[in-house]
Amino acid sequence: MSDLFTIIKASLQVSGISLLIAGLIGIPAGIIIGLSSFRGKKWFIALVNTGMGLPPVLVGLVVALLLWRSGPFGFMGLLYSKTAMVIAQTIIALPLITAFTIAGIQRIEPELIRQTIALGATKLQLFRIVFQEARLTILVAVMAGFGSIISEVGAVMMVGGNIKGDTVVLTTGIMQETRMGNFENALWMGAVLLALSFAINLSLTLIQQKGIK
């Protein structure tokens, strides 16, 4: 049972930190991209949107190649560590969070942005006000990002290495146990994964729905 707790902890740690980093980058980036106009903006957004469908295995492969001992970042010795898993999951969640945030910002009426400027807002104040206007969509962005990484196996398996007591997370654990024929353990882990996912999405949804009157 203590094994299970280690695994749950690892799952929450890896996906939680990844989500935090992806959110801290993706939300401001999405706001800036959504508000600004530059050449090739549509192309850039199309690229970010494509990133939403990034296959985790592919991300895992690229991150593994980069961190491989003979690879460009091999000297850091990060492969098969939680840090490597966080890097991979951040890359998976980032386009999702950015794209949803952009969509949320673009749904705001241009008139509202103009009015905010007319009211004398500085750039930073405009960002904050726009963030608050798009908060419901941005929470969806966070939920989508979380959903995509907590349930993902490919990347964490490839860069984490599924090391017992260290880099095993719920999804890779389920795989392992199933392969070994321990269906009961696999099912328990599955149930825990679902319960976790539900609990986190429930709290985010409650926060979100509070904003709707």
Partner 1 sequence: MTSSVLSVRDLSFAYNGSDNFSLSIPNFDLYPGEKVAIIGPNGAGKTTFLQAISLLLKPTTGTIIFDTKEIRNQEDTLGYHRSTAFIPQKPVLYNRSVKENVGIGLKIRGMKNPETEERVFDMLKKFGIGHLANRNALSVSGGEARRIMLARGLILNPRIIWMDEPFGDLDETVRRELIEDLIPILSQSGCATVFVTHNQDETYQLADKFMVMVKGEIVQSGNGHEVFANPVSQEVAEFIGIKNIIPGRVVKTENDIVSVALTSGINQSAKILLVAGQKPHAENVVVCIPPESIVIVSDEKESIHLSSRNALEGTIERVIPGRYFAWVEIDCGVSLTVSVTNESVKELGLSRGKPVRLLIKSTAIKLLEK
Residues forming the site for partner 1 (CB under 8 A)? 109, 111-112, 114-115, 117-122, 125, 129, 132-133, 211, 213
Alpha-carbon gap, residue 27 to 32, rounded angstroms: 9
Shortest approach of partner 1 to residue 115 CB, angstroms?
5
Nearest to 81 by CA among 175, 166, 140: 166
Q: Tokens 């401001």 appear where?
A: 28
Nearest residue (CB) to partner 1, 76 versus 119: 119
Identify which of residues 133 and 152 has a Cβ nearer to partner 1 in the complex. Answer: 133
Q: Give the nearer residue to partner 1 in terms of CB position, either 172 or 208.
A: 208
Smallest gap, in angstroms, from Cβ of residue 37 to partner 1? Answer: 12
Nearer to partner 1, 1 or 118 (CB): 118
Q: How far is the CB of 134 from partner 1 (least distance, A)?
A: 9
Cβ atoms within 10 Å of 213's Cβ, excluding its own: 4
Helix, strand, coil percentages (3-state) for the chain, rounded to 5, are: 80, 0, 20
Least distance to partner 1, CB of residue 97, Å: 21
Q: CA dihedral in degrees (55, 58, 86, 25; nearest 10)?
A: -60
Q: Please, what is the minimum distance in Å from the beta carbon of residue 112 to partner 1?
A: 5
Angle at 189 between CA 162 and CA 10, to 5 degrees: 45
Nearest one of 88, 70, 69 to 21, comparing CA atoms: 88
Instruction: Using the minimum distance from each CB to partner 1, give the nearer residue, 132 or 205.
Output: 132
Nearest to 12 by CA among 85, 95, 101: 85
Closer CB to partner 1, 18 or 208, in the complex: 208
Q: Tell me how far, at minimum, the Cβ of 36 lies from partner 1, in Å.
A: 15
167 with 10: CB under 8 angstroms? yes
